[in-house]
A and B are shown apart, each in its own frame.
Chain A
């Protein structure tokens, strides 16, 4: 039993009635980490001293000055910079890196009165679907410790699923929030591209990356997204679009809602249990007054190849900044500058990162640019148009988040292409730039499954409304892994 099985609203009620303090909540987070993280291995760095001091200060703030997330603990993915708190992107090349400013989202968490508990493990530079690409540790799935939590925000999902923290931030370039949310049975939202500032998010693929919230329920997710959204002068790609009160959209009413179900999302490679869980979810939504029809997103099968060319190309450019000169790891015993670059990068980066840098460099180099990079950008247009067409006629698109539940640690490490296929249902959404959520929708052999709800540009409100209505009608989100009680 932990305080963190409660929602933000319930925790605020306990704070207001003085049954607990913010200091208690902070202590609970560190107690849970002490108790569970030897098994889960989610945290790379803890912020205990500062967080404890912050909590004591926040406890003095009058209740009328507090918002819905005030005083609540949160974990932050390790590719989001936190001033004075080591940020490594789970890479050796940033070992010991001490950021000199806070990411915009971190500033916003502070403004909301949230307490940063620590930094969460990930696949190195967010490249991976299992957290096995971390240079430091392999995070375990709280539902089955021999399985991966997904990736790349695997630990962000695992820490919430294990009840170490009730909130976390992840980032999603091709499914990195939604796939781990699905594997760990929690709620994860990738907002519309541009909704949340990327300032202070260590760039992987700049045209695809978005930061988003991971929580145990839809309402808390909506509250956290509202807190971190908005135009930022430090990020020229953040959108000048009004930030709605997302929680106000949670009416429970989906009467007349038009749902599109792409046949490509329930086809080959999708497990029977996953397929059935989606069909069951559609029945639930139908009973609530929604209607659904099968549609086609004909270019879906090209999304994976398109994504790996574009994301790797952008990564090869973004990661050129890691050269051993200004921060992070620097190779020793080198003769000249070229050798310093090469040795630093070879010793500092892991294999998957090197593979993608080389794929990107190759795609962008003379002679292959048109056939790979430009071609992939053109196919991206076709994929985006598929989504634009369907979303012109329907309110949301519904399908599974991942083709299967969490796989075993070590199962896919030697085969990059099979590993990449885990993201086949999430990648097209990043290419199109639209928002999508994953919420718990069932189990296969005791492992959680996720329902993906995709919406129109900047219409996260409708996604939340559908997700919340479904959540109210089902009990999957109330399940907790055995490890929750420390059994």
Chain B
């Protein structure tokens, strides 16, 4: 995957919910290709039967009792919301 086309970059940007211009797509295509090119070196290593590391500590699930506890007040929770109405978060129309 040495080549990363402008179209691929646009697709990835869409998946990542980023609007990008034609010039940006071109620039990112080159830069991302250089990085993925560099990442190709991992293929030199035989990793058959190597267990992937997702986490360095031998952790198990941490569970607590299912008890209701008081959370933050609604007023506090809404403190940073730009648009709100009647204690609810307002967003633009979801369906056309």
Contacts and interface: CB of A to CB of B under 8 A. Distances in A.
B70 interface: no
B18 A357 contact: yes
Contacts of A97: 80
B59 A236 contact: yes
Given A194-B57, A308-B39, A374-B52, A346 B34 contact: no
Contact of B93 (A336, A368, A372, A381): A336
Interface of B: 1, 4, 8-9, 12-13, 15-20, 28, 31-32, 34-36, 38-39, 41-43, 45, 47, 50-57, 59, 61-62, 64, 72, 76-77, 79-83, 89, 91-94, 96
B80 A359 contact: no
Contacts of B94: 336-337
Nearest to A83: B76
Contacts of A357: 16, 18
A324 B53 CA distance: 33
B88 to A, nearest CB: 12
B36 to A, nearest CB: 7
Interface stretch (A133-141, A143-151, A326-334): A326-334
B11 to A, nearest CB: 9
Given A207-B56, A336-B96, 6 more contacts: A236-B61, A324-B82, A341-B17, A343-B19, A359-B35, A417-B35
B55 A237 contact: yes
A380 B55 CA distance: 10
Contact of B51 (A309, A336, A375, A378): A378
Contacts of B80: 97-98, 100, 326-328
Interface string A356-378: 01110110010010011011111
Nearest to A237: B59
Contacts, number: 158
Contact of B9 (A239, A302, A306, A358): A358
Contact of B79 (A100, A316, A432): A100
Nearest to B11: A365
A349 B31 contact: no
Which of B39, B72, B80 has its CB near the most chain A CB atoms (within 10 A)?
B39
A10 B17 CA distance: 53
B52 A336 contact: no
A323 B89 CA distance: 13
A50 interface: no
Contact of A377 (B18, B20, B53): B53
A368 B1 CA distance: 9
A334 to B, nearest CB: 6
Q: Which of A330, A359, A362 has the most CB of B within 10 A?
A: A362
B82 to A, nearest CB: 4
Q: Which of B1, B12, B45 is the most central at the interface, judged by chain A CB atoms within 10 Å of its CB? A: B12
A342 interface: yes
Contacts of A305: 38-39, 41-42
A374 B45 CA distance: 13
B57 A354 contact: no
A378 B56 contact: no
Most A-side CB within 10 Å, residue of B8, B53, B79 = B53
Given A193-B56, A337-B91, A362 B12 contact: yes
